[in-house]
Amino acid sequence: MNSLYGFSPLFSPFSLYTVLGSTLNGASSALVGSSSASQSSAYQTEISAYGQLLSSLSNFQYALLQIAYTNNPLTASSSNASVASPTAVSGAIAGTYNLSVSQLAQAQTVQSGTVADPANTVIGSGSLTIQTGSYNSSGNTFTSDGTSPVTVSVTNGTLNSIASAINTSGAGVTANVLQNGSGYTLSIASSSTGAQKNFSITVADSDGTNTDMGGLSQLAYDPTAASGAGKNLTLVQSGGNAAYSVNGVSSTSSSNYGVTLASNVSANLLQTGSTVVSVGVDFNQLSSNAQSLASAFNTFQSSINGLLASGGALQNNIVTSQLAMNMNSQALATLNNGSSTLRTLSQLGVQFQQPQTVGMVGTLTLNSNTLQYAYNLDQSGAASLLSQSAQGFNTLSGAYANAGYGILPQSISQLQKLVQSENTLVQYSSNQDPFNLNNLLAMMSNGTADQSANLSGSQISALAQYASVLSLGEPFAVQALLVGSIGQLGASSGFSAMA
């Protein structure tokens, strides 16, 4: 039922004059009260049903926002996963990148001689000063990286205690005691890879000699010195940068992780070799979004169809029926998708099934094979079309649900005003001779605040429904209008508007 055209005893000027006439008896007063109460109940039912519809639309919109206003989901894959593991983030551009890795970034590692007992064999006392930087083999020079050197104090140090002291010093290196076939050795490695993170170890030995192979000076490592005379640890691996090329353009990186291949595309380098990195729409995410759209639509469809069905609270309701028709049209809409040939949801495999009953909302189902075909044809176009479709549904839903201007909130507001008007009539119908104009005017002048407000509501309802000539803020003008009208009627009927 469309509430704006529902029946009320005051819906025509003639009925208005009749119920205001002084000859109205108690039985007719009861009739007015009963009719108004029934009408108010009908309005309340419609308000409740609109509230359910609003809730369903809000849930639908929330699901749509997860699809409509996010960037196309992109993913990166590697043709040789053992060489590199790529990643694409928001803003990446679909494409392919030929990656060739000729060298991995590595950390400098040095190693001591062996001892039989790492816990009890004393190496010596003194201090170790560790400085990180870069070593130039061509000029045989070591250059600090600008960080401050760290000094580690050692007293009767064993391999175990020296390793522990180094690891707690924050010197930018890591020490480990390793077992080999002939005993135990101290391994010291840079905490970071790259040519700028090599290191030197200078010893201040308590035995007075800092570069020989006795005492703590056994652990000295000056890359510019001679072996056994200050370069006493054995170099296992030099620190170096990763070397690679992308589409033929060479580059280096101090790390193997997060190596930039292109804007918003990176990779972790795993070993030397070649691979093709492909960046494109993530099919799994696209499929998930398409299914989410269909599921959200069908959930809303179930709700609105329940209200529109025979016996439903909004059966034959014009507003709701129009929404149902618009939803069906949106599901079948042809969209402007740029240069892509993908323009309808059905081309993505999101297929619309017509409702079995005319006036209801249909359903959406997802055909994964069709979606896969569309993805292979045009990845970006498929993602764009799905996003646009979700935006279209969201815009349509907003026209009905959004606060302030949505059709449903406005309809609810109008129905609430009608409920107030009908409730006013019910209140006055319980009074003796409630529509005697003399009594009404007396209540207007001398009644309580609540009574005065209710009377104004009754007059305002009469004005809005029939006269449409004065604003809601002029109750006394309405009163004058009623007095004048009934005065004219009273001249021929014997009714008098005067006290």
Same domain? For 143 and 232 the reply is yes
Same domain? For 78 and 169 the reply is no
Residue 261: partners with Cβ closer than 8 Å, 6 or more residues away: 86, 97, 99, 246, 267, 277
Same domain? For 208 and 133 the reply is yes
Separation between Cα atoms, residue 212 and residue 97, nearest integer Å: 52
Of the candidates 239, 117, 238, the residue with the CA atom closest to the CA atom of residue 185: 117
Of the candidates 258, 257, 254, 272, the residue with the CA atom closest to the CA atom of residue 105: 254
Residue 224 within a domain: yes
Last residue of a domain, one of 237, 255, 273: 237
Instruction: Dump the DSSP string for 387-447.
Output: HHHHHHHHHHHHHHHSTTT-HHHHHHHHHHHHHHHHHHHHHHHTSSSTT-HHHHHHHHHHS
Separation between Cα atoms, residue 261 and residue 219, nearest integer Å: 40
Q: What is the pLDDT of residue 397?
A: 96
Last residue of a domain, one of 207, 237, 267: 237
* Each residue's pLDDT tens digit, 102-122: 999 999 999 999 999 999 999
Of the candidates 177, 191, 43, the residue with the CA atom closest to the CA atom of residue 106: 191
Domain count, the chain: 2
Residue 335 within a domain: no
* Each residue's pLDDT tens digit, 220-232: 999 999 999 999 9
Q: What is the pLDDT of residue 319?
A: 93
Helix (H, G, I), strand (E, B) or coil at 352: strand
* Each residue's pLDDT tens digit, 145-200: 999 999 999 999 999 999 999 999 999 999 999 999 899 999 999 999 999 999 99
By residue range, what is the domain housing residue 252?
74-104+241-281
The model's confidence at residue 414, banded by pLDDT at 50, 70 and 90, is confident
Six-digit token string for 92: 């990446």
Question: Which segment of 96-110, 123-137, 400-414 scores lowest on mean pLDDT?
Answer: 400-414
Same domain? For 133 and 183 the reply is yes
Q: Are 105 and 92 in contact (CB under 8 A)?
A: no
Residue 223: partners with Cβ closer than 8 Å, 6 or more residues away: 135, 142, 198, 200, 231, 235
Same domain? For 218 and 142 the reply is yes
Same domain? For 201 and 117 the reply is yes
The model's confidence at residue 314, banded by pLDDT at 50, 70 and 90, is very high
Q: Are 272 and 97 in contact (CB under 8 A)?
A: no
The model's confidence at residue 41, banded by pLDDT at 50, 70 and 90, is confident
Residue 375 within a domain: no
The model's confidence at residue 416, banded by pLDDT at 50, 70 and 90, is confident
The pLDDT > 90 percentage for the chain reads 66
Residue 299 within a domain: no
Regarding beta strands 363-366 and 242-246, do their DSSP bridges make them parallel or antiparallel, or are they unpaired?
Answer: unpaired
Same domain? For 263 and 245 the reply is yes
Residue 207 within a domain: yes
Residue 420 within a domain: no
- CA 317: distance to chain centroid? 34
* Each residue's pLDDT tens digit, 337-353: 999 999 999 999 999 99
Last residue of a domain, one of 223, 254, 281: 281
Same domain? For 157 and 268 the reply is no
Same domain? For 226 and 178 the reply is yes
Same domain? For 78 and 161 the reply is no
* Each residue's pLDDT tens digit, 435-470: 444 554 455 444 444 444 444 444 444 434 434 433
Six-digit token string for 85: 């593991």
Same domain? For 91 and 210 the reply is no
Overall pTM > 0.75:
no
End-to-end C-alpha distance for the chain, whole angstroms: 42
